[in-house]
Amino acid sequence: MSGSLLLTHHISCPGGVVYTACFQSLLPKLGFPWTVRALGFLAAGVFATALPALLLSTTKDNDLQHEASESTTCAQNLPNQPSAHFFDTQALRNGPFLAYSISSLLIFLAYLVPFFYIPLFAQAILHMSRSLSYWVLAISAATSIFGRLLSAYLAKRIGIMMVWTAATTISGCLCLSWIAIQSASALIAFSGLYGTHLSRSRLNVWGVERAQCPRLTLACSSTGFFSGALVALPPAIFPRICTWPEKLGTWMGMGWLSSGVAFLVGSPIAGALLDTSWRNQEYNFLATQLWSGLLLLSGAGSLLVLWRLLVRNGQGDGVWI
């Protein structure tokens, strides 16, 4: 069954660059308004396909509503049991939840920065054409598909926390190596790798340095790591952090709050750093690159804390959560 899903997924891969491709090829011909309208019709078409199926998948939906109404009834019968709230103060006294929030704050401050500034970097520093610079972005988005799938597979084998922490560390290192990029091909490689995995030589260096930990080396050198993991894995670890299914929605919403703040301010801060370094009609990306790289590395540090807390509380099957 998962095979068929993967198949559908790979069939959709040519669509992996849909928005970018549409935008950059329609823009010169149609102008901005009709390009955006075309994207709108595209989205409408997808929703028209997806929504009936989502709305009509009655069994799942009824189960959910049933579950929901059950928990509401429980709440009415037992005043001690909280019903669905927008905010649950119990979460704020929960160590793993706090560590999770801080980690996602740090990671998502940095996560979007390369995605936002790669095209500008390509045009302003490397003097690439507009269409090529858009393709660089499309490459990083498309390769992250493989990153996500591989990270899911690895997470199943060696644990979510392992993959998440390692992926964050490597994404941070990659962002710092962005500083050294001077050529178009290097940038394409960077954006592809930020999406998916590390180059072989870099991997070997990284693997050898940490050869004491066989699992980690295996994980690194067999596949490399991904920023894709950074988005795919947080929701997956969440049920380990919030062990009460009836509060999952509330806690997940609260957890997303810290990511939301980070998403909101991360890229404008990077943009402000870019604006202040504007000299002699030229951009200097150093501050922006350091911002994303160092934040990702500190995010990895705080993930280690989360990991330690989860292991200590026994919220997982041993160390390999």
Partner 1 sequence: MFISPGSKVSRLTCATSRGLTFVFGIFQSFYETTFITTGSSSAIAWIGTIQSALLVFVGVFTGPLYDRGLYRSLLVAGTLLFLLGMFTLSWSKSFYQVLLSQGICIGLGGGLLYVPTLTLISRSFEDKRTLALSIVTCGIGIGT
- Site for partner 1, residues 128 to 167, rule: CB under 8 A: 130, 133-134, 137-138, 141-142, 144-145, 148-149, 151-153, 155-156, 160
Two tokens, residue 183? 């050529």
Residue 24 found at the interface with partner 1 (CB under 8 A): yes
Site residues (CB under 8 A) for partner 1, limited to 203-262: 228, 231-233, 235-236, 238-239, 245-254, 256-257, 259-261
Q: Give 113 or 309: the residue with its C-beta nearer to partner 1.
A: 113
* CA separation for the pair 26, 32 (Å, rounded): 8
Instruction: Kindly list the distances between the CA atom of residue 4 and the CA atoms of 7, 60, 154, in Å, as whole numbers in the listed order.
Output: 5, 20, 20
Min. distance of Cβ 212 from partner 1 in angstroms?
27
* CA separation for the pair 254, 238 (Å, rounded): 11
Among 64, 92, 208, 319, binds partner 1 (CB under 8 A): 64
Site residues (CB under 8 A) for partner 1, limited to 96-135: 112, 115-120, 123, 130, 133-134
283 by Cβ neighbours in 10 Å (0-12 / 13-18 / 19+) ranks as middle
What b/e sequence results for 177-190 when a residue is b if at least 16 CB atoms lie within 10 Å of its CB, and e otherwise?
bbeebeebeebbeb
Q: 3-class DSSP state for residue 279?
A: strand
Min. distance of Cβ 22 from partner 1 in angstroms?
10
Site residues (CB under 8 A) for partner 1, limited to 27-56: 27, 32-37, 39-40, 43-44, 46-47, 49-51, 53-56
* CA separation for the pair 148, 134 (Å, rounded): 22
Among 26, 215, 271, 313, binds partner 1 (CB under 8 A): 271
Only one of the segments 94-102, 168-176, 216-224, 263-271 lies at the binding site for partner 1 (rule: CB under 8 A); that segment is: 263-271
